[in-house]
């Protein structure tokens, strides 16, 4: 009897395990069937809301659904790709920061980037802010690599999206923005200038100085010029200073020579010396020679001492004519600083 009871007990345990395995198997099979059905509904959807609803159903099914959704992110169909990535974005937002599931999903999404077309790469880049928040700092290097690839993409729209991400603290590709300032596409230059104008370097100094920005006031695209002007206004530059900066960096040396005359005789410029000092580095020798004369005459008229940089022009300028002119005016009688001399503001 005892042996019979033991045998019955073993048979019962075996039956229970068999039923449990069968139940699990049928549950997994049912989930797979649901995922297949949701994926089919996704494919045949004729509107964005229908695709979005089907994508959310796939996410709710866990790994089987998410696996299929990831496959849609690699699709050449823009509506499929956009709906799939939007659903993944919503899913990531529901997870806690540093959730392991976010990390696994991030790895899967980033691995698709090199094989995607330009539209797919833009979509992945647009997902990165959520990824960087949810996946944890260990995924920052992978995200940085993806953004760096985006900055070098042949597709202008991909580069535009990547410029915005280059400023993210976890990505920190600010210096790489500078190469995009000369991109042939105006929309890329606009995005790069907007980002670079607000970015700071490693020491906290602006990535672009005001003088750097002045040069983009001459960009052939009106949108780039507008971004540049707005950035300068944001740095508290007055309209008068912006106009002086535009003329200071005019590509035509004749226009820069005209600026010299205005700095000498226009009383609207409170203190011309900082602007003259910048022109003393002008690539055109005629401008540098003119600066020597204007700086000495302006200082004498205002009762100010000659600027120290006149000695540099007189002794170290690369052009002998500039040195000769600077020495001549350096030898003229010097003025004295008046008690009411205006403060100097650097350009």
Does residue 141 lie within any of the structural domains?
Answer: yes
Cβ–Cβ under 8 Å, residues 140 and 173? no
Does residue 96 lie within any of the structural domains?
Answer: yes
Domain carrying residue 118: 60-172
Does residue 40 lie within any of the structural domains?
Answer: no
SS3 61: coil
Confidence class for position 293, pLDDT limits 50, 70, 90: very high
Does residue 4 lie within any of the structural domains?
Answer: no
Does residue 105 lie within any of the structural domains?
Answer: yes
Is a pLDDT exceeding 70 seen at residue 345? no
Confidence class for position 104, pLDDT limits 50, 70, 90: confident
Name the average pLDDT for the chain: 83
Q: Give the residue among 82, 79, 37, 44 at the shortest CA–CA distance from 60.
A: 37
CATH, residue 122: 1.25.40
Strand partners, 200: 206
Q: How far apart are CA 214 and CA 238, in angstroms?
A: 13
- Residues 86-104 have a mean pLDDT of 83
Buried b (16+ CB within 10 A) or exposed e, 299-313: bbebebebbebbeeb
pLDDT attached to residue 269: 77
Q: How far apart are CA 328 and CA 313, in angstroms?
A: 11
Q: Give the residue among 28, 30, 31, 58 at the shortest CA–CA distance from 42.
A: 58
Least confident of 118-122, 143-147, 277-281, 324-328: 118-122
pLDDT attached to residue 47: 85
Q: What is the pLDDT of residues 144-183, one digit of tens each?
A: 999 999 999 999 999 999 999 999 988 989 989 999 999 9
Q: How many helices (H) and strands (E) does the chain have?
A: 17, 0
Confidence class for position 330, pLDDT limits 50, 70, 90: confident
Does residue 17 lie within any of the structural domains?
Answer: no
SS3 124: helix
Is a pLDDT exceeding 50 seen at residue 73? yes
- For residues 157 and 261, membership in a common domain is answered with no
Q: How far apart are CA 192 and CA 182, in angstroms?
A: 9
Is a pLDDT exceeding 80 seen at residue 80? yes
- Where a domain ends, among 153, 172, 191? 172
Q: How far apart are CA 139 and CA 158, in angstroms?
A: 21
Q: How far apart are CA 192 and CA 161, in angstroms?
A: 10
- Where a domain ends, among 172, 191, 225? 172
Per-residue tokens: 257: 């020579």
- Rounded to the nearest 5°, which phi and psi values hold at 322? -60, -45
Least confident of 33-42, 156-165, 241-250, 299-308: 33-42
Does residue 49 lie within any of the structural domains?
Answer: no
pLDDT attached to residue 44: 72
Q: Which of 49-53, 67-71, 181-185, 199-203 has the highest mean pLDDT?
A: 181-185
Does residue 156 lie within any of the structural domains?
Answer: yes
Comparing 20 with 205, which gets the higher pLDDT? 205
- Where a domain ends, among 157, 172, 187? 172
Per-residue tokens: 192: 């790069």
- Residues 323-346 have a mean pLDDT of 64
SS3 206: strand
- Residues 289-315 have a mean pLDDT of 90
SS3 269: coil
Report the percentage of the chain scoring pLDDT > 90. Answer: 42
pLDDT attached to residue 325: 93
Total domains present in the chain? 2
Q: Give the residue among 312, 321, 275, 281 at the shortest CA–CA distance from 295.
A: 275
pLDDT attached to residue 111: 86
């Amino acid at each position: 009897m005892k042996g019979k009871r033991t045998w019955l007990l073993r048979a019962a345990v075996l039956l229970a395990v068999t039923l449990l395995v069968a139940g699990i198997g049928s549950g997994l099979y049912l989930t797979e069937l649901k995922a297949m059905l949701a994926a089919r509904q996704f494919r045949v959807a004729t509107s964005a809301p229908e695709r979005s609803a089907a994508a959310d159903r796939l996410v709710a099914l866990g790994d089987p659904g998410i696996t299929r959704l990831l496959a849609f992110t690699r699709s050449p169909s823009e509506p499929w790709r956009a709906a799939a990535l939007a659903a993944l974005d919503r899913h990531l937002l529901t997870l806690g920061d540093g959730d392991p599931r976010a990390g696994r999903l991030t790895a899967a999404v980033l691995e698709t980037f090199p094989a995607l077309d330009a539209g797919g790469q833009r979509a992945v880049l647009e997902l990165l802010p959520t990824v960087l928040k949810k996946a944890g700092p260990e995924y920052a290097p992978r995200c940085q690599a993806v953004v760096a690839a985006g900055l070098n993409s042949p597709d202008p729209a991909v580069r535009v999206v990547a410029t915005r991400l280059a400023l993210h603290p976890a990505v920190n590709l600010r210096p790489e923005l500078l190469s995009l300032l000369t991109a042939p596409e105006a929309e890329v230059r606009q995005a790069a200038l907007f980002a670079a104008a607000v970015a700071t370097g490693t020491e906290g100094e602006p990535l672009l100085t005001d003088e750097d920005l002045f040069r983009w006031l001459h960009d052939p695209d009106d949108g780039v010029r507008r971004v540049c002007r707005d950035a300068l206004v944001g740095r508290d530059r007055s309209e008068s200073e912006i106009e002086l900066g535009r003329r200071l960096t005019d590509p035509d040396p004749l226009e820069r020579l005209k600026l010299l005359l205005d700095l000498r005789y226009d009383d609207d410029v409170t203190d011309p010396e900082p602007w003259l000092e910048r022109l003393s580095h002008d690539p055109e020798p005629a401008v540098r020679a003119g600066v020597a004369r204007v700086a000495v005459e302006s200082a004498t008229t205002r009762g100010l001492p000659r600027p120290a940089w006149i000695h540099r022009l007189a002794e170290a300028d690369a052009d002998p004519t500039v040195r000769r002119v600077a020495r001549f005016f350096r030898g003229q009688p010097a003025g004295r600083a008046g008690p009411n001399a205006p403060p100097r503001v650097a350009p």
